[in-house]
Amino acid sequence: MENFFNTYQTEIVAAIISFIVALLTTLLTHFLGNFKLRYTEKLKIASELSKIKYEGITKIRKEITILSSYQNLSITENQNLSVTELIGTKICTPSCCYTYEALIGISKTLNELYGEYGSCLNHTSAIYLVYIRNFLLDYTLVCIEAGLNNEDLRFVSIPLYEGIFKWYKRFDKKLISLMNKPSMKYFAHTGLRYMLLLKVYGFYFNHTKPYKHMYRINDKKDTLK
């Protein structure tokens, strides 16, 4: 046996080395193949998630454009202007407040957008969506309870346009920032940090002109009688 090993030592060592190399190559190919497959799958999933996120933000931007538009009441309501000096001047009321149908419609749309795409937004963007949605819902209820009809709604909403437009610009800027910095990160909007931001922005929104105007809506009602 010893003579056999001595005689074929080189061939045996070569065979063992060849076997080990073949085994390692097979194992390496297998693991690399699995890694490549997992990596490819991760890229595919990441691509789909990023696409959904981008589409969601784009849809939100499209839907909130109504917050930037207005109706000129000196044109649309010329025959209803009781103050003749205002005829021919530019009197802007938010398009979203032109009728209850429009007001309820955008409120419902924002609510649906938050439910579908809220996790795509970072905390501050989500909070803007939440507070704007809440304001429009509360404003609708306040005006209904005050007994205002569509015509009254248009005139009582005149002071809102400037404030709502500022909200829109700031919200849209945040959305554009998210689009310019693609990320796979999603947000649950829970926890201490989110609750703190909610309170901070709550203080900000409650001290803006639209909210202050809403709190005085009953006084505005009397001026329309």
Could you write out the DSSP letters of every residue in 168-183? HHHHHHHHHHHHHS--
How many whole angstroms separate alpha carbon 131 and alpha carbon 64?
A: 13
Let me know: does 84 contact 205? Beta carbons within 8 Å: no
* Mean pLDDT confidence for 42-66: 80
First to last CA, the chain: 118
Q: What is the mean pLDDT of residues 160-180?
A: 94
Residue type, 159: P
Q: What integer pLDDT is reported at residue 44 of this predicted model?
A: 59
Residue with tokens 């829109």: 168
pLDDT at 3 over 70: no
Q: Which residues partner with 92 through β-bridges? A: 72
Residue 34 pLDDT:
57
Average pLDDT of 48-62?
86
Residue 83, pLDDT > 50, answer no
pLDDT attached to residue 85: 46
Say what the pLDDT of residue 76 is: 75
pLDDT over 50 at 84, yes or no: no
User: What are the respective helix, strand and coil percentages of the chain, to the nearest 5?
Assistant: 80, 5, 15
Given pLDDT bands bounded at 50, 70 and 90, which one contains residue 224?
Answer: very low
What is the per-residue pLDDT for 50? 76
| In the predicted structure, residue 174 carries a pLDDT above the cut 80 | yes
* Cβ proximity of 110 and 129 under 8 Å: yes
Q: What is the pLDDT of residue 4?
A: 47
**Of 47-51, 114-118, 142-146, the least confident:** 47-51
Distances in whole angstroms, Cα of residue 21 to Cα of each of 10, 55, 160, 194: 16, 50, 77, 56
- Which tokens in the block code for residue 104? 């309820």
Cβ-contact 96, 139 below 8 angstroms: no
CA distance 135 to 54: 26
Give the integer Cα–Cα distance in Å for 141 and 218. 12
Residue 105 has pLDDT above 50, yes or no: yes
Enter the pTM of the model: 0.74
Determine the Cα–Cα distance for residues 175 and 140; give it in Å rounded to an integer.
26
Instruction: Report angle CA 207, 210, 212 to the nearest 5 degrees.
Output: 50
